[in-house]
Each structure stands twice: as structure tokens, then as C-alpha cells.
């Protein structure tokens, strides 16, 4: 009996949002007996919109660190050999002329269909961890407790609330108000994207007929033009080619998306082809293989001055939604999840040092995520020949693109966790999972 009396009460952790970051974090945390985890998802079931999502080497390491390397391997796609290390080849819009390549050794273009990956993750969650049809409407903090209310009238009380509820987060306002910051709404980037999936045999045949090199089907490509760019990469073991064709309107310094307009809609092929008038055969044939594209308005968030207020922390897109131009958004959410999972699962963790832990999360994760947000926007400028230093100088473009992602992919997450432990005054542990 005596030993039991000294046992610390379990820490109640609530996670709002059942996307990839929220579910990955819940999966890791629910393995630890000193944590009681509940995940709340507003939809009636887990589900992700969108097609492919790509991961850099940093994100693949975070996935492995969260114990998810095997399920990721089951759902993920890689560029086929001998091009397995190529992230993208960069080409001119008018004639598909080669500008250069970005190489990510050991990872290449690692991508997965969002819904497939989430299915694999969700199927591993223990019974009772996830609750559905729970849309958060408000948060209150009193003492060391957090209470979140849902639209169905129910509520949840815990010791820590982690908001993984995306760019339209219902919790972000509470955190920003709590730290005396202005509210942050999603902002329209001025860029929209046409998306489609093509049967790779169909594209191969069309390219062959027009005398276009079939290499462009097998290896991830990015075609760069003024105020527009198109990316392609194989998914579903090379059976399908994922295509995203971006167009930017730079006529407004602060572009607005109509408030009542959906962010995603159906589009016609004619509309899409019009946007790429004057592009070369490789691009035109690609787009002609997409009869019914969807049209996406790209939004991001301004860099936030803080991710934490009291016992509430923002992770993933709720904290740092970014443009997709570095394929880094989901990866930053997974880095957040990995960082918090390693610290929260540590036996030295308790009620008394939760505030310090969250302060360290904010201090170490926020500067990196903000830099990834900023450089994701800059990457879009670079691809569309608007970078102030590089412009349309092909030699400078090739050189810049060859190395500009290294800092992002080669980041040492373990060093961040080590630095966090040092700041918390914790002993280093030989990985207690």
C-alpha cells in the first residue's frame, strides 16, 4: 500500500483534432501508464481531405520516432530506383528543359495519400481513446485544469489540452487572447491550385504519342514559369501520377478570398488549360489528362507570437499552417507531436513541471516552425521566378534549388529534445518508452 500512496496521479491529456498530427501524438501518448489520453474529432469518423502529402527526411525521422515507421512504410510511396533520392527535378515551363534537381538522400520524394495514412494510424488507436462528433466551441482554464466545451453540450476537463484542430482552429483564439495577442485568421495567399490524379499508363501513352520523354512520368517533376508552376509525382506504387498546378494572382498586395466561397471547388479542364496558355507540350498534355480537376484556394497563417497559454498548447496547422511549397506542413505537425511525446512520456514529467515543459515547447519549436512557414512562402516565389535575388536566372535557380532545403530536412530533432531536457533540469534517459 505504501508504495502506491506515493504514485503520482495520472496526467489527463486532451487532444482536439483527429488529423495526422493529433492521431500520431495520441498513439504515442496512450502507451504510457502515467498519461490518460482522450482525442476529440468533430467529424463522425476519421478522414482527411486532399490527395498526396509529402514528407522530408526530418518528418520521416519524426514518424519513426513516434513508432510509426512500419505503418508509414505500408502506406508510403517512394520514387523508383535509380532515381530514389530525387526530391524534384526542376524544368522550364515552355519546353521542359532541365534546370537542376534537389536530392534528398535516403528519402527522395516520400509521400502518402493522406486518407490512407490516417486510416493506418487510426486503426491502431486503442478502443475508447477517440470520441467523434465533438466540435470544440470554447475553453476555460481554472487553476491547473482546462475545460473544453463541445457543441453537443458535453465538456471535457483535463490537465493539458493540445489543439491539433487545423488552420481553422477553434482553440487558437483562446491561446492568443490569453497571451495578449491579436486573433489570427487564415489568410489567402493569392495562389490557387488545380489538382488531379492521372493513371500513369494513360499519361505514358499520351507522352509517347507526342514524343515527350517518359522519364517525366517516373520521376517527380516541377515545371517553373512566371506566376505559375506545376508539380507531379508518382503515388500508389507508380500507378497514379499526382498533379498540382499552381497559379498566383499578384495584382493585390493583400489578396482576399470571398468569405462565403468554399476553399475547394470543382473546376473545368478548359479553365485550367486557359491558366497555362503558352506552356510547353509536357505541361499541356499532363493537364489534358485531367478531365475534372479540383480547384483549391491556398491559405496560411501569419507567424504567431506564442503557441501556449496556461495548460493549452497549439500544434500542427493550428499553430503554423503554411503553404505547401516545401512539402513541409504535415512534417512540422509531426515534429511537434514527436517533441511533446518524448517529453510528456518521460517519468520525470508531472503536474508540477507541466508549465515549464510547455514553455520549453514554445521556445524550441516555434522559431523553427515560423522559419518553415516563411521559407515555404519564399519557395513559392522562387518557383514562380519572383525571388528578388534569383528571378529567372536559370543558373542561379539551379544552384539555389540544389541546396535550399538541406537545413529543413537535416534538422536534428533529438538535439531539440536533449536541449529541452537540459532546460528542464532533467536527467538524460536512455530512451524510456
Provide the 3-class DSSP secondary structure of residue 231.
strand
160 and 148 Cβ atoms separated by less than 8 Å: no
Give me the DSSP letters along 359-399: HHHHHHHHHHHHHHHHHHHHHHHHHTT--TTTTT-HHHHHH
List of residues 6+ apart from 346 with CB closer than 8 A: 421, 426, 429, 432
| C-alpha triplet 112, 241, 390: angle, nearest 5° | 90
Taking alpha carbons only, the member of 325, 272, 326 closest to residue 294 is 272
Locate all alpha helices (DSSP H) within 66-153, ordered by sequence.
69-75, 114-122
Show the beta-strand stretches assigned E in 47-204: 52-55, 76-77, 86-92, 98-103, 110-113, 130-131, 136-142, 145-150, 155-158, 160-163, 187-199
CA-CA distance, 87 to 103, in Å (whole number)?
Answer: 5
Assign residue 227 a region (left: φ > 0; alpha: ψ between -120 and 50; beta: otherwise). left
List of residues 6+ apart from 370 with CB closer than 8 A: 303, 304, 320
Show the beta-strand stretches assigned E in 267-307: 294-300
- The burial of 149, by beta-carbon neighbours within 10 Å (0-12 exposed, 13-18 middle, 19 or more buried), is given as middle
195 is catalytic: yes
428 and 418 Cβ atoms separated by less than 8 Å: yes
Taking alpha carbons only, the member of 50, 51, 68 closest to residue 59 is 68
**Residue 202 backbone dihedrals phi, psi, to 5 degrees:** -65, -45
Pairing of strands 160-163, 52-55: unpaired
DSSP for residue 185? -
Selecting among 91, 195, 366, 368, the annotated active-site residue is: 195
Q: Both ends of the chain: CA-CA distance in Å?
A: 26
- Which positions are catalytic? 195
Amino acid at each position: 500500500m505504501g508504495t502506491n500512496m506515493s504514485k503520482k496521479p495520472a496526467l489527463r491529456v486532451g487532444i482536439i483534432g483527429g488529423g495526422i498530427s493529433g492521431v500520431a501524438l495520441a498513439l504515442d501518448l496512450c502507451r504510457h501508464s502515467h498519461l490518460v489520453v482522450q482525442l476529440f474529432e468533430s467529424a463522425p469518423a476519421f478522414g482527411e481531405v486532399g490527395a498526396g502529402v509529402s514528407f522530408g527526411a526530418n518528418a520521416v525521422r519524426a514518424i519513426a520516432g513516434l513508432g510509426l515507421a512500419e505503418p508509414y512504410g505500408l502506406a508510403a510511396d517512394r520514387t523508383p530506383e535509380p532515381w530514389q533520392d530525387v526530391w524534384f527535378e526542376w524544368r522550364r515551363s515552355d519546353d521542359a528543359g532541365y534546370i537542376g534537381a534537389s536530392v534528398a538522400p535516403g528519402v527522395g520524394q516520400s509521400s502518402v495519400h493522406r486518407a490512407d495514412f490516417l486510416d493506418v494510424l487510426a486503426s491502431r488507436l486503442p478502443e475508447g481513446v477517440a470520441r467523434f462528433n465533438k466540435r470544440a466551441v470554447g475553453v476555460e482554464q481554472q487553476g491547473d485544469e482546462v475545460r473544453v466545451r463541445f457543441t453537443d453540450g458535453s465538456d471535457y476537463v483535463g490537465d493539458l489540452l493540445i489543439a491539433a484542430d487545423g488552420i481553422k482552429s477553434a482553440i487558437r483564439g483562446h491561446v492568443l487572447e490569453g497571451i495578449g495577442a491579436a486573433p489570427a485568421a487564415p489568410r489567402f495567399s493569392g495562389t490557387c491550385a488545380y489538382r488531379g490524379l492521372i493513371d500513369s499508363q494513360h499519361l505514358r501513352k499520351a507522352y509517347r504519342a507526342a514524343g515527350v520523354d517518359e522519364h517525366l512520368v517516373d520521376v517527380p517533376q516541377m515545371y517553373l514559369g512566371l506566376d505559375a508552376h506545376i508539380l507531379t509525382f508518382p503515388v500508389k506504387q507508380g500507378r497514379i501520377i499526382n498533379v498540382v498546378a499552381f497559379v498566383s494572382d499578384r495584382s493585390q498586395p493583400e489578396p482576399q478570398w470571398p468569405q462565403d466561397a468554399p476553399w475547394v471547388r470543382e473546376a473545368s479542364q478548359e479553365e485550367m488549360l486557359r491558366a497555362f496558355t503558352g506552356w510547353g507540350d509536357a505541361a499541356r498534355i499532363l493537364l489534358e489528362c485531367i478531365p475534372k480537376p479540383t480547384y483549391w484556394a491556398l491559405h496560411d497563417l501569419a507567424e504567431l507570437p506564442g503557441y501556449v497559454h496556461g495548460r493549452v498548447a497549439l500544434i500542427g496547422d493550428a499553430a503554423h499552417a503554411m503553404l505547401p511549397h516545401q512539402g513541409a506542413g504535415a512534417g512540422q505537425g509531426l515534429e511537434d507531436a514527436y517533441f511533446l511525446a518524448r517529453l510528456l512520456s518521460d517519468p520525470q514529467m508531472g503536474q508540477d513541471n507541466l508549465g515549464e515543459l510547455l514553455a520549453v515547447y514554445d521556445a524550441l519549436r516555434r522559431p523553427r516552425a515560423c522559419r518553415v512557414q516563411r521559407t515555404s512562402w519564399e519557395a513559392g516565389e522562387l518557383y514562380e521566378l519572383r525571388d528578388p535575388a534569383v528571378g529567372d536566372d536559370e543558373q542561379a535557380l539551379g544552384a539555389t534549388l540544389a541546396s535550399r532545403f538541406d537545413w529543413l530536412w537535416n534538422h536534428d530533432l533529438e538535439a531539440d529534445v536533449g536541449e529541452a531536457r537540459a532546460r528542464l533540469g532533467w536527467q538524460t534517459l536512455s530512451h524510456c518508452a
